Structure 1
């Protein structure tokens, strides 16, 4: 029911999948289980909007076999903003998320790690503060491995359990390396961000432009100090993090102003400004035009 927070998953035995309690329909189409590692294809749907709590009881990777629903979100640690899901997402064991589910239908390949061997790999290879969730894993080897496993589960060949276990355990290592964030306090003054770290930070900023973006919160999300984040970001991008966020707000405003039916006060809120006056002043300083003047110029062009 909309507006009612409830547990999104039903606790089950180690060998069974977690079934969302809020779904109108849920079915496991096919599955392969290997030493506590479960690979399955799930088909489920919501017929109404609802708010819930999602608590993965194992390390959880899912690979979308169809489009993701727009508007559905998982919000970690009580935050109001989170990036949208990509083709692959990872949620760590023991994490908790507030979730917003919109009427939608999903078909996903899901990989969960519940055995001691896999858990040992996660703990040993992960950073000391544990792996962070990632809503859009873009590592090519992980995408390739999940696609191969989804095909194996859909149409099992010779020794499917051995195939699942072998590929899944190697993917644990790839995932840990992909999500491992540098946090050394003695990083050199010329240190730079890796491409995937920069991409994740940019996605986090883009998803949070409508609200207050704190450098401290961004640094905490990345598991580094604010000083380290600001220094490595400037070394990588060539501008300060604060300037980048300010520019990102203006760029979003430009995109929305092209839509002549969008109210300027709504655009101001979408870009994180508390008032139309503050938005107009910042926009004019950045572009030399008022928001209304920019719209007129663009529409004439």
Structure 2
């Protein structure tokens, strides 16, 4: 199994993908993930490529969202040996925990999986709509049309999961996927509430201070939202309205600004600076720094006359 170590989040260690029931079913059928990314609280993303054979999902203990990338017509859902639905590029499937399904594959196609659990949907429903999570039920969906989620699949295809700071961006995307699943494919079935306004000056200062104080730490959308007692959904929208960018973009900028300051101080090794500013390694830090400032960290030091 290929392990995308550089894209793996530096969040606290979570169970590996192979320990999830649907992942077990796919690997047992001889399918290997093309890439994978562990997120916060047991959520995960995986890109798969299947070619042929049969796969059975037998009452998984977690939920999964599937978005087909291309050639989805090679995947068929069967019941008692008969085809009941056939895929297509952009097709969406939703497997609630406890669901059962059988799949016949007769040609190569690719798809994404997003894995999440009961706590994720309960928190999403309660925090976003103030809805009773005990009454929330996810609906099974097989080869459905959902243009919004299909577009998310295209975004996942284009995303570089190894890019510096991408773990925060993908955590943000995962929160958005949860919101779409709960609002469109559950018992709630209502649009997320409209969020207007901006943070107060006091909350802006608080967020700036907390982010600067913890810039070396893994920061998730849920972590930052908890600082001001908001749901990730409300927080992300108020943050963008207040700061002019998404939270993950702001965090990345603060990390690079901190790094630039540290590079101007003699005696600080580049690897140590990278780790102290929240990057996984010096290579990831160098790519991010050059993308932002047009020069590598070592090149910046040379220009500053500090080498």
TM-score (norm 2): 0.44
TM-score (norm 1): 0.45
